[in-house]
Amino acid sequence: MVVDIINPYAVAVTQFDEAAERLGLSRSMRNILRAPKRELIVNFPVRLDNGDVQMYTGYRVQHNINRGPAKGGIRFSPEVSLDEVRALAMWMTWKCAVVDIPFGGAKGGVICDPHQMSRGELERLSRRYATEISILMGPNSDIPAPDMNTNPQIMAWMMDTYSMHQGYSVPATITGKPLAIGGSEGRLDATARGVQVVTKAAMRHLDMTPENSSVVIQGFGNVGGITARLLHESGCKVIGLSDISGGVYNPRGIDVPMAMRFSREHGSLRGLPGTEPVTNRELLELPCDILIPAALENQLTKENAGRVQARLVVEAANGPTNVEGDRILNENGIMVVPDILANAGGVTVSYFEWVQDLQHFFWSENEINQRLEAIMTRAFNAVMAKAVAQDTHLRMGAYLLAVSRVAEATELRGIYP
């Protein structure tokens, strides 16, 4: 019986093991690269608006720091678990290596439901979590950033808290900040802009043109929403969108700017005029040319991957396809641009933000976007070349490139007994 792996950490380890096997890595090297370097679990109190004190659990995992300081976002969600954070940290290591920026991989998370919390409660939670993980944080050691349900304001509170403890401002200790306190032009759009670059590159490879391509996107937050806007601007026909409340569909095309306004005003896409409702499950199986999961892990599995109708899947989310889902998509000849390449635009502009903060010298949005496009295009071409040379799919191509870079750094630094 084929076991469908759903635990994200098990998915991440399986993906790594397959690449390590293909690269012929030694057993010692596999052991080193598989294991998370540091795992911090914190339980901390937060005073609620009604005067009660509630305990929260958070994590910060550094998977590997051989190529540079640990880097990766922070997620606030009721679904956060240690294994999820471990997987996300491992994917960050490979992601930074795929785009060849000098960072290792990390991720953090707090088990909470930010949608049920007031602004004051969220600020107290963010500040206390920053204090708890400040033993790892620092511009040379571990640099967090936004992820699901976190945003520039939360990064500002966390930077301020860290800086209070130091006695001076340390903007380079966190990225994704507002512009006024050392954020970078272009960071808010960066992940989606990177998704746009690799989507267009993959489309060229498949002889697809924007005007003849329909797109379905799951998730309408920072990544999914801006990806929808950018692909709409590129001339693609966006026919399906979704958020946590469900999906909306119009085979003739959705007016994305109108959808963004509607979602801002109503808090969700539900009831978007001119569309019919679909469930998030149905959304993934809609007839379309390009499917972009931009929400959660484990959305394409053996349960539904066989019914995906797209020619191209671009993984804007982290880990949206599990091992079995991936196998089915590959067997069906669907090109999958893997997460560690597709959504690397965010961390790439985070790298630019860090460099700018360290130098106290800031670049224009145009410069940022040009450098981002150059890095994403270079990475896409390198992954494609590796996949073609090794007669494999893009995920394996990306892993072969990334894992060999991290292994090389590890080897050069020396493996001590």
Ligand X SMILES: NC(=O)C1=CN([C@@H]2O[C@H](COP(=O)(O)OP(=O)(O)OC[C@H]3O[C@@H](n4cnc5c(N)ncnc54)[C@H](O)[C@@H]3O)[C@@H](O)[C@H]2O)C=CC1
DSSP state of 115: G
Of 150, 139, 118, the C-alpha closest to 47 is 118
Within residues 224-253, the interface with ligand X by CB under 6 A covers 224, 242-244
Residue at token pair 């940022």: 368
From CA 344, how far away is CA 193, in angstroms rounded? 10
- Given ligand X, ligand AKG, none, residue 148, with its beta carbon under 5 to 8 Å by kind, binds ligand X
For residue 30, give Cα distances in angstroms to 33, 36, 86, 312: 5, 12, 16, 31
Is 37 annotated as contributing to ligand binding? no
For the packed helices 27-34 and 8-23, what is the interaxial angle rounded to 10 degrees?
A: 150
Is 301 annotated as contributing to ligand binding? no
- Given ligand AKG, ligand X, none, residue 71, with its beta carbon under 5 to 8 Å by kind, binds ligand AKG
Contact characters 169-198, ligand X, x per CB under 6 A: ----------------------x-------
Task: Give the binding-site size for ligand X (rule: CB under 6 A).
Answer: 24
Contact characters 60-79, ligand AKG, x per CB under 6 A: -----------xxx------
Contact characters 152-181, ligand AKG, x per CB under 6 A: -----------------------xx-----
- Kindly list the catalytic residues: 107
Q: Copy the structure tokens of residue 314.
A: 């671009």
From CA 234, how far away is CA 217, in angstroms rounded? 15
234: Cβ contacts below 8 Å, ≥ 6 apart: 196, 200, 210
69: Cβ contacts below 8 Å, ≥ 6 apart: 103, 104, 138, 139, 140, 141, 142, 143
Q: Which of residues 65, 256, 259, 295 is near ligand X by CB under 6 A?
A: 295
Closer residue to ligand AKG (CB): 68 or 247: 68
Q: Does 147 bind ligand X (CB under 6 A)?
A: yes
Shortest distance (Å) from residue 237 CB to ligand X:
21
What amino acid occupies position 354?
A: W
CB 107, CB 92: distance < 8 Å: yes
Residue 331: other Cβ atoms inside 10 A: 10
Of 184, 215, 382, 209, the C-alpha closest to 294 is 215
Shortest distance (Å) from residue 297 CB to ligand X:
7
- Given ligand AKG, ligand X, none, residue 111, with its beta carbon under 5 to 8 Å by kind, binds none
Is 173 annotated as contributing to ligand binding? no
> Is the four-CA dihedral 397, 400, 401, 403 of positive or negative sign?
positive
Q: Which of residues 171, 219, 240, 397 is near ligand X by CB under 6 A?
A: 219
Is 280 annotated as contributing to ligand binding? no
Taking CB under 6 A as the binding criterion, the range among 225-233, 275-283, 330-338, 346-354 that sits at the site for ligand AKG is: 346-354
Residue at token pair 């804007």: 316
Q: Which residues contribute to the annotated binding site for NAD(+)?
A: 191, 222
Q: Footprint of ligand X on this chain (CB under 6 A)?
A: 146-149, 191, 218-224, 242-244, 280, 294-296, 316-318, 343, 346
Q: Footprint of ligand AKG on this chain (CB under 6 A)?
A: 71-73, 95, 145, 147, 175-176, 318, 343, 346-347, 350
Q: Which residues contribute to the annotated binding site for substrate?
A: 71, 95, 350
